[in-house]
Structure 1
Amino acid sequence: MVLSHALGCELHMWDGVAALLKERYTVLRYDHRGHGQSEAVPGPYTLDMLADDAADLIAAQAAGPVHFVGLSMGGMTAQALAVRHPQLVKSLVIANAANWYDEAARVGWQARVNTVLAQGVPAIAEGAMQRWFTPEFRADAAGGGAARVAALRHQLEIIDAAAYAASCEAVSGIDFRTSNRRIQCPALVIGGTRDEATPVAMSQAICDTIAGAQLRTLDAAHLSAVEQPAAFAQLLVNFFEGAK
């Protein structure tokens, strides 16, 4: 399986899920362009570019089609990948994502881009943490939630500002409402019942455009795979076993 991370994160976002699945599956994680250890390629970016990046990785590293799991920007990459490179995708998991943004949402994305380019990525970090995690997870020192939040915040704050802004612009421009109808592989859509960034209604909208797609929810905010790794991993196992 291939795990594709959210905007502003990097491959270690998946640590909890990967640890639970590595005995059962070959798990391949990667950093999107401009994130983590990947090169901050000059923009502009599009989701088609991110999908082609993933396709190149799969072609180079996998022996055949993969279970592709994407969260947030990774879930948007998943939708583009399944249409552009269907031969590489055995099944698809789209978590905490959208399939398009209206004009009001795009205005909000542009405001974030403007802030990042003017003040740097740290200027939007606190707001991101509030969207990514529930208050109790952010405050959970004993259970490790607070430490995970701090680590992910650090990774966000050190991302190249221009690359982050280019990624925001790529995400804000998506519209998969028509192209998703060409997806033919089994698909699972995961929503967070406390996700204010991509509410469950957005997950349902994705389901409505992919024939046979299943919708499951978790009690989590936007980064559901970080907040609920065991429950997230179990959803994947159940789905993959049925998608064989």
Structure 2
Amino acid sequence: MIHLHVVREGSGPIVVLSHALGCDHRMWDGVAAQLARAHTVLRYDHRNHGGSELRAGPFTLQDLADDAAGLIEREADGEPVHFVGLSMGGMVAQALAARHPALLRTVVVANSAHHYPDPAPWRIRIETVQAQGLAGIAPGAVGRWLTPGFVATPDGAAAARRLHEMLLRADPAGYVASCAAIAAIDLRDSNRRIAVPTLVIAGTLDEATPPSMSEAIAAAIPGARLARLPTAHLSAVERPTEFSQLLVDFWRSL
């Protein structure tokens, strides 16, 4: 069993928030503040991120899904949860819904992918981090995470600084292992078997996981709904109020 750092807030139905590669639970600050008014919010750090355990060696996306399943079993007292994942967290959400559906009320997959036909960009990123550390990829990563218009505002500039610092504090070896796990994902077949109510959220200005990737995920999962926000990759950071409202409206509609 791996140790995962968890932050619990609020009371009510349980929502689990799963963050993007190179971030940690603080990525969800704005959304958590909204949801904790009527929900119990569990934010956790993936293995090799934030305050969670550093686990040497390779792992797979399925391992991250099993990490999340173990956390739900420990923290939710047998109650199925709403699971919300963004980017790498959205990949975890897809695998979790296929592998452990009994743990879930609903699943939300935001700004994510289900397959990378060409893993070459991930190999390049791994080689860059191995040669230069996370400083070698941080400016480009943060540049893809938020739109220039948002970064030009005081709130956006502060968010960009926090994210840049967050990424630089990540463990380089853990980041590389996460990149390798992401590069190898192929969730296309398992997504067709997902029976958990699913919402997919796309960022219309997302260059890291373009809207076509979200559309493909929604098309593969039976009954999945698709929503869009005018954001880049970290839609939950850029538009936390609108992001949270999409979740609440989805849950209320079921």
Q: Above 0.5 in TM-score? A: yes
Root-mean-square deviation (CA), in Å?
0.7
Shift of 1:42: 0.7
| Separation (CA, whole Å) in 1 of partners of 2:22 and 2:225 | 27
| Separation (CA, whole Å) in 2 of partners of 1:125 and 1:136 | 19
Match of 2:149 among 100, 122, 136: 136
Find the counterpart in structure 2 of residue 79 from structure 1.
Answer: 94
Partner SS state of residue 182, structure 1: coil
Find the counterpart in structure 2 of residue 154 from structure 1.
Answer: 165
Q: Is it true that 1:97 corresponds to 2:108 in the alignment?
A: no
Deviations 1:153-186 (A, max 9, x none): 1010111110000001111111111110110010
Shift of 1:148: 1.1
Find the counterpart in structure 1 of residue 49 from structure 2.
Answer: 35
Deviations 1:47-96 (A, max 9, x none): 10100110010000003110000000000000010111111011010000
Aligned length: 239
* TM-score normalised by L of structure 2: 0.93
Shift of 1:111: 0.3
Deviations 1:119-147 (A, max 9, x none): 10111000001110001112212xx1111
Find the counterpart in structure 2 of residue 122 from structure 1.
Answer: 135
1:163-178 superposed matches below 5 A: 163-178=174-189
Q: Is it true that 1:51 corresponds to 2:51 in the alignment?
A: no
- The one-letter code matched in structure 1 to 2:95 is A
Q: Percent identity?
A: 58
| Separation (CA, whole Å) in 1 of partners of 2:191 and 2:30 | 29
Find the counterpart in structure 1 of residue 10 from structure 2.
Answer: none
Shift of 1:43: 2.3
| Separation (CA, whole Å) in 2 of partners of 1:209 and 1:15 | 31
| Separation (CA, whole Å) in 1 of partners of 2:212 and 2:177 | 26
- The one-letter code matched in structure 1 to 2:98 is V
- The one-letter code matched in structure 1 to 2:20 is A
- The one-letter code matched in structure 2 to 1:172 is A
Q: Is it true that 1:26 corresponds to 2:40 in the alignment?
A: yes
Match of 1:112 among 100, 103, 125: 125
1:210-229 superposed matches below 5 A: 210-229=221-240
- The one-letter code matched in structure 1 to 2:146 is F
4+ runs deviating over 3 angstroms: none
Find the counterpart in structure 1 of residue 242 from structure 2.
Answer: 231
CA separation of 1:139 and 1:43: change in aligned 2, threshold 3 A: farther
Q: Which runs of 5+ in 1 are unaligned?
A: none
Higher helix share: 1
- The one-letter code matched in structure 1 to 2:123 is Q
| Separation (CA, whole Å) in 2 of partners of 1:119 and 1:40 | 20
Shift of 1:35: 0.6
Higher relative contact order (CA 8 A, sep 6+): 1
Partner SS state of residue 178, structure 1: helix
1:178-197 superposed matches below 5 A: 178-197=189-208
| Separation (CA, whole Å) in 2 of partners of 1:222 and 1:79 | 18
Find the counterpart in structure 2 of residue 66 from structure 1.
Answer: 81
* TM-score normalised by L of structure 1: 0.97
